Structure 1
Amino acid sequence: MEGTVKIFENVFGIHESALKLRELRLNVLTENIANADTPGYKARDVDFKSVMRSTQAGIKQMATTHGSHINASTSGKDGLVYRNPINPSADGNTVELSVQQSEFGKESARYTATMQFIENRIGGVRRALRGE
């Protein structure tokens, strides 16, 4: 079974990790947009490059056995960081709605491209297994 897992790791490469990370970033951006009018809300983001660099280098996060355990990541849980707004609001909210919406659109396109790449890889494996 371990050999099968290695085959799929080779087929998908870093793209599986990228897809999961893009999904996380979309969720964080959605949360920011939903809280655009919440006083004191601090907008967050995912340090995508840093997390991917760590993934590519083979650096493993310390395993946690419970959701309340501290994650060893230097940039926060799952690479989450707080955004520094260009124009913070008077109520302490750091969400810049237009920036968040723009980032969401860009990340959505990146997610779709990554998903299509993975789907193409799966199609290639299927064709190879059928001998096409």
Structure 2
Amino acid sequence: MALFSNTISLLERSLDYSSLKQQVISQNIANADTPNYKAKDVNFKSVLNSEMEKTLPTYMTNSKHIPFQTSSESFTITKKNVQYNNNGNSVDIDQEMSDLADNQIYYNALIERLNGKFQTLQTVIKGGSQ
């Protein structure tokens, strides 16, 4: 039985994405002064495709249909079109801090929504009385 029409599992996977994004941003910030370090980012498209394949199985009903291909690329990528510092490092600390704040807001919104789902479940279990 899926509670809340799979909303909780979807929120869980979104939290996994946010956690991965947090780890990558933290690595970039930690290596801001490391010579020749190339800043990384999370490839949202490959994360989305991976999750969609888990939840939406694809079936070919006709041999003329274009087959769906699974992506073997990793979720983290090296950022492109960035300027390098004198030491070959491509971390822009201001951009990383901005990304960190955006990710924190996203994470907090997911947690609030998840808490709301659990509060609704708790209300239903108690029979609506508090």
- TM-score grouping bracket, smaller chain normalisation: 0.7 to 0.9
Partner of 1:64: none
Rounded Cα–Cα distance in structure 1 between residues aligned with 2:71 and 2:33 = 30
C-alpha change, 1:85 and 1:95, in structure 2 (3 Å) is farther
Question: What does 1:41-60 align with in structure 2 at a 5 Å threshold?
Answer: 41-58=37-54
- Give the total of aligned pairs: 115
Per-residue CA deviation, residues 40-91 of structure 1 (Å, 9 max, x unaligned), is: 11211111243124313427xxxxxxxxxxxx96331xx1111125211232
Q: Secondary structure, in 3 states, of the residue corresponding to 1:14?
A: helix
Question: Quick one: which amino acid aligns to residue 107 of structure 2?
Answer: Y
TM (norm. structure 2) is 0.76
Aligned match of 1:74 in 72, 75, 78? 72
Aligned match of 2:111 in 109, 115, 120? 115
CA contact (8 A) 2:41 2:79 kept: yes
Partner of 1:63: none
Coordinate RMSD, CA, aligned: 2.3
Partner of 2:36: 40
TM (norm. structure 1) is 0.75
Rounded Cα–Cα distance in structure 1 between residues aligned with 2:85 and 2:127 = 60
Query: Matched residues, percent identical?
Result: 28
Q: Secondary structure, in 3 states, of the residue corresponding to 2:77?
A: strand
Rounded Cα–Cα distance in structure 2 between residues aligned with 1:84 and 1:116 = 34
Question: Quick one: which amino acid aligns to residue 23 of structure 2?
Answer: N
Question: What does 1:4-15 align with in structure 2 at a 5 Å threshold?
Answer: 6-7=2-3, 10-15=6-11
Q: Larger deviation: 99-108 or 84-93?
A: 84-93
CA contact (8 A) 1:37 1:93 kept: yes
Question: Quick one: which amino acid aligns to residue 74 of structure 1?
Answer: S
